[in-house]
Amino acid sequence: MISIIIPAHNEYVNLERLFNSAVFLHHRQLLEVIIAASPSTNDATSSLSSIPKVNVINCINKGRAAQMNEASRMALGNVLVFLHADVLPPANFLDNILDRLENGFDAGFFSYRFDKETWFLKMNASFTAKDGFFTGGGDQCLFIRKSVFNNLGAFDEQQVLMEDFEFFNRMKKGKVPYTIIKNDLVVSARKYECNSYLRVNLSNLLLVMLFKLGCPSCTLKSLHNKLIRTPYNG
């Protein structure tokens, strides 16, 4: 059975859009969707708990890693799917996940495309279908057996930025068999709309390189906040 976990901070508009098109809510193997809302969320996110299978929790600590960990401890499913609020999965993505788990993989990710059509964004998205330098980002919707997730120690809550890449590094070191499913998620291009394409790409490249060189996460977070104008609310 599957538990979908969505970390959120003032993401009501995106979550409402997600659930308006969420045919996966009716999937026989979906047990629950847990929205892990940050303690400072002040929008209408809590009202979404009226949707069948959806549970909104108000997390004790703020930060994606902490919020996702808190939700994972509550999750009843034996498969965890970590989905971002502004990402729309394809209709059959849960079937894709179950198929890969039944064929020897313990974890995986999805390729994606952006919700805006430009040549540059298409080029960026094309890399997500391959295992490479940027594999493991949160927009790729990590799915993993709960037992494997727990054995790896969950997300590092001290990693205030790039907790997804840090966890993926531990997956690789632990030789967890994973796959990339080539069935595109649709990812919001809002970060690119608030910044230039060049600014976002150069900033991402710099941050990933510094992360791989062992730069402390607090330094990465500070640098990210200086380089990138965020479109998020709150």
Q: Higher confidence at residue 148 or residue 207?
A: 148
Ranked by mean pLDDT, which of 17-26, 53-62, 119-128 comes out on top?
53-62
CATH number of domain containing 116: 3.90.550.10
Q: What is the pLDDT of residues 1-13, one digit of tens each?
A: 999 999 999 999 9
User: Taking 50 as the threshold, does the pLDDT of residue 234 lie above it?
Assistant: no
**Predicted confidence (pLDDT) per residue in 156-200, tens digit:** 999 888 899 999 999 999 999 999 999 999 998 888 888 887 888
Tell me the pLDDT of the chain averaged across its residues.
92
Structural domain contains residue 136: yes
Cα–Cα distance between 49 and 42 in angstroms, integer? 15
Is 230 inside any structural domain? no
In a domain, 69, yes or no: yes
How many structural domains are present in the chain?
1
**Does 131 map to a domain?**
yes
Mean pLDDT of 78-106: 97
Alpha helices in the chain (DSSP H): 12-20, 64-74, 93-102, 119-126, 146-151, 163-173, 190-194, 197-212, 217-227
Domain assignment present for 211: no
231: confidence class by pLDDT, cuts 50, 70, 90:
low
Q: Residue range 192-216: average pLDDT?
A: 84
Q: Is 60 helix (H, G, I), strand (E, B) or coil?
A: coil
**72 lies in a domain?**
yes
Q: Is residue 111 part of a domain?
A: yes
The predicted structure's pLDDT at residue 172: 96
Which structural domain range is residue 140 located in?
2-191
Residue 104 lies in a domain: yes
